[in-house]
Structure 1
Amino acid sequence: MKTNEKLQNEIQDAIKWETSLDAFEISVVVNDGVVTLTGTVDSSSKIVEAENAAKKVSGVKVIIEKMEVDCRHVCKKDNEIADEVIKALKLNMTVLQKKIVIKVHRGWIYLNGTLDWNYQREFANKVVSDISGVKGIINNIKIKSELKDPIEKQTIENILDQNWTINYNTIHVDVLGCKVTLIGTVDYRYEKDEAERVAWNIPGICDVDNELTIKYFA
């Protein structure tokens, strides 16, 4: 098991490798696999990038994100942010942007609507998070299931079992209509996130309830 200091150094190195991040802006504290990120950055996308960098480090069990967005140098009114959001979605998502309803309140972006795939929802999130001055994003976009045949539990289990980054033996899958629930324990945060990502990529899935517990807290 890694010491707190070793894990802290590895996370700091991972953040340094992200070219869009300034490692001096982000503080990392580690306590038995629980990682706390603090600091101030100029966009919400950098918070996501810092989290993702930390997730990939072996030994990370939980991430507590306490970072803030400081828009003092790029402060914008809500209507200015809304205009940029609309332009960004039109440029990157063409027809799909018509299915997304946007609301901006005090620098926070709220996304609503219905899309066909989860990767489209995640891409919409990525597109708007790159806009400067955005303090945060609440993504309420729903996924529409074009389900013709029942989703087989065994299919999901087989796909999870084939993923070498996941210890599938400790994961239980429940299926109700187009909703999948993941129950059980995993060793690390990245396993929990990867299991959810795999489930979302299965055609017909409209919702994934990730109830997996990190063993540290089990």
Structure 2
Amino acid sequence: MKTDTQIQRDVLAELKWEPSVNAAQIGVEVKEGIVTLEGKVSSYSEKWDAERAAQRVSGVKALAIKLDVALPGSSQRDDADIAHSAANVLAWMTYLPDDSVEVVVEKGWITLSGEVDWDYQKQAALGAVRHLMGVTGVSNQIVIKPRVLLSAVKSEIESALKRRAHMDADKILVAIKDADVTLTGTAHSLSERDSARHAAWGTPGVRNVVDHIVVI
């Protein structure tokens, strides 16, 4: 089991290894496996990449993000320009039905809303706008349209977990109520917990996933 000092060292190394992140501007504190990232980044996409880098490190149980997005002058844009760019990039996406996602921008912060059929469409919309110049943050409020769950949905999720050889699928428990899935049990890392959540979201008919998996 890693000590907090080892986790801190590994997170710092992972941040330095990530080319899209200026690690010199980010401080890392660790207490009982919970990692806090502090400092300033020059774009929302850099903030996102810093979070993903920290999550890749084994032993990290949770993240607390205290990173401020400080846009350089050359990257600042008014809200109307950002909204126009976001609407255009979403309109060109083959993943999304026409007019399924709405965009609101306030002080550089994008809020996405609307309804889609699948979680991958929701995540694709987020991925399309988070790299736009001038964006300081994104709230993804897109919802998944309710669909009739098949009787086999529970076994489909469990089968997806077992296909991921690096995971001990027997330690992940799946419960279903209506179109909502609740995951409980234990995982060895944040990446394993993410894999379980993605397996649940990738099952047809799932509207919501509640993640109660504990990283040990």
- TM-score normalised to the size of structure 1? 0.88
**1:120-158 Cα distance to aligned partner (Å, 9 max, x none):** 111110111101221111111111245473343222223
User: What does 1:95-114 align with in structure 2 at a 5 Å threshold?
Assistant: 96=97, 98-114=99-115
2-side partners of 1:77 and 1:68: how far apart? 19
Kindly tell me: are residues 97 and 129 of structure 1, through their superposed partners in 2, closer, same or farther at Cα, counting changes over 3 Å? farther
**1:76-120 Cα distance to aligned partner (Å, 9 max, x none):** 221121111112223344753521111111221110111121111
Gaps of 5+ in 2: none
**1:149-187 Cα distance to aligned partner (Å, 9 max, x none):** 334322222322332333333322111232211123334
User: Where does structure 1 differ by over 6 angstroms across 4 or more consecutive aligned residues?
Assistant: none
Kindly tell me: are residues 94 and 165 of structure 1, through their superposed partners in 2, closer, same or farther at Cα, counting changes over 3 Å? closer
Q: Which amino acid aligns with 1:116?
A: D
Aligned to 2:194: 193
Q: State the number of aligned residues.
A: 215
User: What does 1:70-81 align with in structure 2 at a 5 Å threshold?
Assistant: 70-73=70-73, 74-81=75-82
On the 8 A contact 1:151/1:177 being kept in 2, the answer is no
2-side partners of 1:97 and 1:72: how far apart? 34
Kindly tell me: are residues 138 and 150 of structure 1, through their superposed partners in 2, closer, same or farther at Cα, counting changes over 3 Å? same
User: What does 1:4-83 align with in structure 2 at a 5 Å threshold?
Assistant: 4-73=4-73, 74-83=75-84
Kindly tell me: are residues 148 and 9 of structure 1, through their superposed partners in 2, closer, same or farther at Cα, counting changes over 3 Å? closer
On the 8 A contact 2:42/2:69 being kept in 1, the answer is yes
Q: Which amino acid aligns with 1:183?
A: T
1-side partners of 2:109 and 2:196: how far apart? 29
Q: Which amino acid aligns with 1:40?
A: K
SS in 1 for 2:45: helix
Aligned to 1:140: 141
On the 8 A contact 2:37/2:65 being kept in 1, the answer is yes
Identity of aligned residues (%): 34
1-side partners of 2:152 and 2:41: how far apart? 42
Q: Which amino acid aligns with 1:122?
A: Q
On the 8 A contact 1:76/1:133 being kept in 2, the answer is yes
2-side partners of 1:97 and 1:166: how far apart? 38
User: What does 1:142-161 align with in structure 2 at a 5 Å threshold?
Assistant: 142-147=143-148, 149-161=150-162
Which shifted more, 32-41 or 156-165? 156-165
Q: Which amino acid aligns with 2:33?
A: G
2-side partners of 1:211 and 1:95: how far apart? 30
